[in-house]
Amino acid sequence: MVEAVREEKQGERRIMIQPQNQNSITYTRVIHLSHVIDIDIPQWSGDPPVEFETVAELNNDGYYLRRFSLGEHSATHINAPNSFHSYAVGIDQYSAQSLVVPAVVIDIRQATAVNPDYALTIADVLAWEEEYGEIYPGCVVILNTGWQKKWFDKSAFLNHDSQGIAHFPGFGSDATQLLLDERQIVGVGIDTHGVDPGQDNSFTINHLMLEKPRIVLENLTNLDQLPPKGTTLAIGILRLRGGSGSPVGVLALVP
């Protein structure tokens, strides 16, 4: 049973969700962290195109309906463990509880403006903690790289060089290992097309994160609207049987 309590505070409505015998979530704003899915979004090389086909029209059928097709790792999406580990679970095996999680945001925009290949370091994590407190277990760590602003320019977003190598920022392996081992985080997220830096074609960070059914979110947006800490994510997956991932609707509940 869930009870919703509404409060008024300084002219702003606050909504508190209070599940019985569970933690409460208090928020004042809800923000979409997912891009709109369209046919011309940036796509990883080799991914199937996004396609829409009208199959029913109001004038002829009395209702409007389309068929759509896209890859499991297209648009704003989540990667499942079986996309990198053959023995692991698919996206349909994530529990509902695991998809409502607290989040912290580390802003590395200054570094990525100078170096598009920048990877999060342990020093970055410790500097964030010096200001905001130690990253707590059970949260998702999100990187705000500023890349969301490049979304409508596919060339700039993927940033391929003349050899076809992508150049965009991501998580560094040492920092990720620290977050997993010493902070016990449950996931990572980013506004680029991969939590791995674009040059890393071995997908090191995905492998590290997805050895267990953790969360990997890619192509997030509106990260500049989130505070460094206090946000709760509600991640809406498509429960695709055996899916290697899924496009997601990610809502940020901001205090």
Q: Domains in the chain: how many in total?
A: 1
| 61 within domain boundaries | no
| 66 within domain boundaries | no
pLDDT confidence of residue 219: 98
Tell if the pTM clears 0.95, that is, is over it.
no
| 109 within domain boundaries | yes
| 41 within domain boundaries | no
pLDDT along the chain (255 residues), means of 10: 42 47 83 98 94 97 97 98 95 97 98 98 98 97 98 97 96 98 98 96 96 96 98 98 98 97
Neighbouring CB atoms inside 10 A of 160's CB total 14
pLDDT confidence of residue 8: 45
| 97 within domain boundaries | yes
| 19 within domain boundaries | no
Structural domain containing residue 216: 29-35+72-254
pLDDT confidence of residue 51: 98
Domain CATH code at residue 187: 3.50.30.50
| 13 within domain boundaries | no
| 222 within domain boundaries | yes
pLDDT confidence of residue 99: 98
pLDDT confidence of residue 23: 72
